Amino acid sequence: MNKALHLVPPAEPGLSRYASLAQALRARVIAGEWSPGSALPAESQLATEHSVALGTMRRALELLAEQGFIERIHGKGTFVRQGLSGATMLRFFRFDSGTGEVPVSRILQRSRVNAPAAVSRVLGIGTGEPVLRLHRLRLMGGQPRLFEELWLPLDLFEPLAEDDLSTWDDLLYPMFARRVQVHVHRALDDIGFAQLSASQARHLGLPAGHPCAQVQRSAYDLTGRCVELRITRGDAHAFHYTVNIT
Amino acid sequence: MNKALHLVPPAEPGLSRYASLAQALRARVIAGEWSPGSALPAESQLATEHSVALGTMRRALELLAEQGFIERIHGKGTFVRQGLSGATMLRFFRFDSGTGEVPVSRILQRSRVNAPAAVSRVLGIGTGEPVLRLHRLRLMGGQPRLFEELWLPLDLFEPLAEDDLSTWDDLLYPMFARRVQVHVHRALDDIGFAQLSASQARHLGLPAGHPCAQVQRSAYDLTGRCVELRITRGDAHAFHYTVNIT
């Protein structure tokens, strides 16, 4: 690769030298030079490639680690983040069935639909563009606990539109990474309370109108593209979340 | 002050040199050597006092800043954190009455009571020890929006047990700092869902049994002592919270 490509871009107004450098490194990750999970070259080599002092490179790498782009594993090196591993919706709920259990996933419905306006706005695609819509139930200890609606842009998820659903995993993000190379890197969860519609309630074995906690998630890949819109609903009485304020 | 007091304590197992140093600095803050809001001496002076290199002192100060003990204000220096300024319960709710408005506080009831077991456990005091219990309504645009129950350890809050309630501020934490030198430094907010009792509902102008979001807060001072237990309830339909997951 042309070494000149790796020079630090001229400092943007308001960006320190190491922040500009971090941007340049991020561009290399996004361009796919190092794939998620792979190791970055040694700090000294990166510093040489970008013609900066080792200390500057270290600060830039620290910044990328804070931003969740890379992770530094003590004694092993620096790696491009694999994508979210701990994005479980269970952070918002406490069910009887105990801890650590991965909910069983049951896809109730899969269809290609034209994105409604609200969905296309979040996904950043044109209204009416094709998306993959999923209805999904998640069970713990055999009990249905969460009902989910997902919208996935079809240009990224086409291979998952027709395949055998029995091959699907209980956790979607690792499967997205493996099957369609979509790495979810960041998610925004908007939490509110609502009431279950008759059909939502039926899936969860609750009466229509029962209070539910509702989590609207938008999930983003490394480039900042929204790759998933998901609405998760579960019994409001099982909702529980702790915020540490400093 | 005896300079020997400021030597870095022998490194504890698992603590790096700068983490030990951070502990030593924290001890000076807790001991009251620098009060909340006051400036710390220059880094170079602190480094001399503790007989460490400037770089080590800087890392220790960075750690304390990350932990929220101090804040570094560009061009001004390093200060002991004043305590929480942005701990508003409104982070969890969205009411019509718009943004930025500080809710009006109305103390409905103030009494000295013996701490029930659950309260004393959270406050870390003996069961039955005296606490100040408050019932408080918070209004926005003239509408009652949040109903709060607070329990405060009486040994810290005695001066607020008998004074004229009309002199109280709408925001409690700045008043706690000014009136009784209690600085809330950190808070844990446990969010759940419940239904309003008849009396809670009456205060909020809602029907009994109406769904509510319920925030149980435990608030801590610099030394880690729990100085407040508070339960805040508001209309579940006004609850809204966003979590950024990376």
Q: Of B21, B54, B80, which one is at a domain's C-terminal end?
A: B80
Q: DSSP 3-state assignment of B116?
A: coil
Residue B163 in domain: yes
Q: Which pair of tokens denotes residue A97?
A: 């069935």
DSSP letters for B155-189: HHHGGGSSS-GGG--SSHHHHHHHHH-----EEEE
Q: Of B61, B80, B99, which one is at a domain's C-terminal end?
A: B80
Question: At B79, phi and psi to the nearest 5?
Answer: -125, 150
Helix (H) or strand (E) holding B72: strand B70-73
pLDDT of residue B28: 87
Q: Is the pLDDT of residue A5 over 60?
A: no
Residue B243 in domain: no
One domain for residues A167 and A105: yes
- What percent of chain B stands above pLDDT 90? 63
| Nearest-by-CA chain B residue for A87 | B245
| Cβ atoms of A126 and A120 closer than 8 Å | yes
Q: Of B43, B61, B80, which one is at a domain's C-terminal end?
A: B80
**B187 interaction partners in chain A (CB closer than 8 Å):** 244-245
pLDDT of residue B2: 41
Q: What is the pLDDT of residues A50-72, one digit of tens each?
A: 999 999 999 999 888 887 788 88
**B67 interaction partners in chain A (CB closer than 8 Å):** 246
List Cα–Cα distances, A135 to A132, A147, A233, in angstroms.
Answer: 10, 7, 12
Q: Is the pLDDT of residue A83 over 80?
A: no
One domain for residues B183 and B203: yes
Q: Chains A and B: how many Cβ contacts under 8 Å?
A: 79
Of the pLDDT bands very low, low, confident and very high (cuts 50, 70, 90), residue B216 is very high
Q: Is the pLDDT of residue B85 over 80?
A: no
ipTM of the prediction = 0.76
The domain in which residue A38 lies consists of 3-80
Residue A243 in domain: no
**A55 interaction partners in chain B (CB closer than 8 Å):** none
Distance from CA of B4 to the nearest CA of A (A): 32
Q: What is chain B's mean pLDDT, rounded?
A: 89
The whole-angstrom distance between residue A212's C-alpha and the CA centroid of its chain comes to: 23
Q: Total structural domains in chain B?
A: 2
Inter-chain touch A192–B240, beta carbons under 8 Å: yes
Q: What is the pLDDT of residues B93-107, one digit of tens each?
A: 998 765 677 899 999
pLDDT of residue B5: 45
Inter-chain touch A189–B242, beta carbons under 8 Å: yes
| Nearest-by-CA chain A residue for B241 | A191
Inter-chain touch A191–B245, beta carbons under 8 Å: no
Inter-chain touch A244–B188, beta carbons under 8 Å: yes
Taking the C-alpha atoms of residue B150 and residue B219, their distance in angstroms, rounded to an integer, is 11
Residue A246 in domain: no
One domain for residues A105 and A224: yes
Q: Is the pLDDT of residue B218 over 90?
A: yes
Distance from CA of B225 to the nearest CA of A (A): 15
Q: What ranges make up the beta strands (E) of chain A?
A: 70-73, 77-80, 104-114, 130-140, 143-153, 186-195, 211-220, 226-235, 240-245
**Residues with Cβ < 8 Å from B42, sequence gap 6 or more?**
B77
One domain for residues A136 and A176: yes
pLDDT of residue A4: 39
